[in-house]
Structure 1
Amino acid sequence: MRPELASVRAVSRGEAAGTSYSVYAPQSEDARATVVLIHGVGMNQTVWSPQIGALTTSYRVVVYDMLGHGDSALPTAAPTLEEYASQLKALLDAMHIERAHVVGHSMGALVALEFALRYPQRTLSVVTLNAVYDRTPAQREAVMTRAATLGDVLDAGVDATLSRWFGDPVPGHLTQAAQAVRGLLLSVDPVGYARTYRLFARSDDAHVGRLAGLAVPALFLTGECDPNSSPAMSRAMAAATPSGRAEIIANERHMMNVTDPEGVNERLLAFFAETPAEEAPHESINGERHD
């Protein structure tokens, strides 16, 4: 059975500068670094539940709600990737975390790359899961059409989204995961979703020509069967990055952190182990609550 998306118990939760976050303590006293996980459009921090147990064997883990999602503040009416990267910087500043491994999925992958490019001194490494990069004209037209039709109610587009992410029909063994993701999509703030999705739709070329300046180790990871965040995209990003590599998980689609957490977690841990770590400072955040 695949792990459920129910929230894993955090050692602390809180809000800093309009960002809702959770912190998970490492299980090992030898842990020396922090991993930050950034979700995609329509999700929230709980979508990373399948990663928490594995990653906390060696790392402190921070998850948070992207602008416009979960309990975080809305982005501006016409946001930029810089705004979302600045959200992460403000959170790390509030937590007194100097450097971290930064992992992003889909839209979160764009944010992770933007953060690593703008703040390499704050980034130990960067990992993109199911990232978009330099879409074809047909891919760009399809995503822009979806962005243009977004309204105040998301129900109408949820089934189509699940079909893209899980397959049509959804395979029986993935039904529970797909239903959990459906619940996240239906609970997202429609305004926050629309603003973020429109940015996602137009940002596939945001890092074209810039990855040669990516100064940290980078892993570009996607699923073999993800047509919109394709293996070709991940390989192109890796080829453009000085210390980048691409890895493709066989038979997986867009939500592979949920449908194949073992495969994703294994690759994340192996990649982080190759990157020199440093002592993770203790966080001190106004408004933090302990459970």
Structure 2
Amino acid sequence: MTLKTLQLSKPDGLPEDFRVVCYHEQGTGEPLVFVHGVGMCSHAWEPQIAFFAKTHRVIALNMPGHGGSTPLPTGADLRDFVRWLGEVLDALDLEAVNLAGHSMGALIAGGFAITFPERVRRVALLNSVHRRTPEARKAVEERALQIAKGDMDVQGPLKRWFGESGAEQSARRRVREWLEAVDPQGYAVTYSAFSRGDDVFADQWEQVTCPALFLTGEDDPNSTESMSREMASAAANGTACVIREHKHMVNLTAPDQVNAVMAEWLKEAVDQTEMERA
């Protein structure tokens, strides 16, 4: 895959290279945009890019502070990442897209579908968090503080995200490489927004009328099955899917199953009238 670079418009008085977005693009047809999770990069979607580029124009973004994309300022929150996505789609001259996100990318995708419903044909949230328990919130906020201090713990995420099967260990090696290569500042800013983002749009899923897929792994300890089912129940056209015996990086560890589910999601009819009304 060839990495492309996009220049976003910039506020006056800032350097020409102030805001750069790096992304991969492949295929033709209806646009399908992917947004990865914290510490990852667009390569994390390789199984989906290869599969869906046969039928769609696939665009896998590197979110701010990842894969060469300019980070957002310290203190940026989930809504800032949602606005960033809107600017990227504007720069790509994309009006309405199919949108899929993983983990932090899922929070961005969900927030975008809620904020700009007219721009989303279908939305898919993979391994998304939703209304964490107080204990889970405390743990993730403590990790955000440690990361902000420069403590880049790689082993912790790998332990939470992967099981012991051969497929999971193969994916684990690649994910470790991405985590070790991520820009520390971009990682810290994004993880901070992630730690505070689970309830920003949590009460607004009933506003989403487009086909909405909520997929997670059965053994994901943080993006749980109950979270996906709760969001799917709240959305007007929501579907929950749980991949058995897999954890957080399910799109890498069970790509055939995930691709099959997403292919059905992409076949769901879109109510153009509802999009125009939105």
TM-score (norm 1): 0.86
Secondary structure of 1:63's counterpart equals strand
The one of 241, 255, 259 aligned to 1:247: 241
Counterpart for residue 275 of structure 1: 269
Amino acid at match of 1:275: A
Amino acid at match of 2:160: R
Distance 1:92 1:137 in 2: 35
Amino acid at match of 2:136: Q
Secondary structure of 1:149's counterpart equals helix
Matches within 5 A, 1:1-291: 9-10=1-2, 13-17=4-8, 18-26=20-28, 31=29, 33-150=30-147, 151-154=149-152, 157-167=153-163, 170-276=164-270
Distance 2:151 2:223 in 1: 25
CA contact (8 A) 1:153 1:190 kept: no
Amino acid at match of 1:13: K
Q: How many residues align?
A: 260
Residues 73-93 of structure 1, C-alpha deviation per residue, up to 9 Å, x if partnerless?
Answer: 111111121211122211111
- Range with bigger deviation, 258-267 or 206-215: 206-215
Distance 2:46 2:166 in 1: 21
- Return the structure number with greater relative CO, CA threshold 8 A, min gap 6: 1
CA contact (8 A) 2:78 2:193 kept: yes
The offset of 1:141, in angstroms, is 1.5
CA contact (8 A) 1:68 1:192 kept: yes
Distance 1:241 1:200 in 2: 22
The offset of 1:277, in angstroms, is 9.6
Distance 2:167 2:208 in 1: 39
User: Share of identical aligned residues, percent?
Assistant: 38
The offset of 1:153, in angstroms, is 4.8
Counterpart for residue 286 of structure 1: none
Counterpart for residue 6 of structure 1: none
TM-score (norm 2): 0.89
Secondary structure of 1:262's counterpart equals helix
Counterpart for residue 289 of structure 1: none
Distance 2:262 2:271 in 1: 14
Amino acid at match of 2:49: I
Distance 2:71 2:92 in 1: 21
Residues 23-75 of structure 1, C-alpha deviation per residue, up to 9 Å, x if partnerless?
Answer: 1123xxxx3x1100000000011111111111112111001110111111111
Structure 2: gaps (5+ residues) = 9-19, 273-278
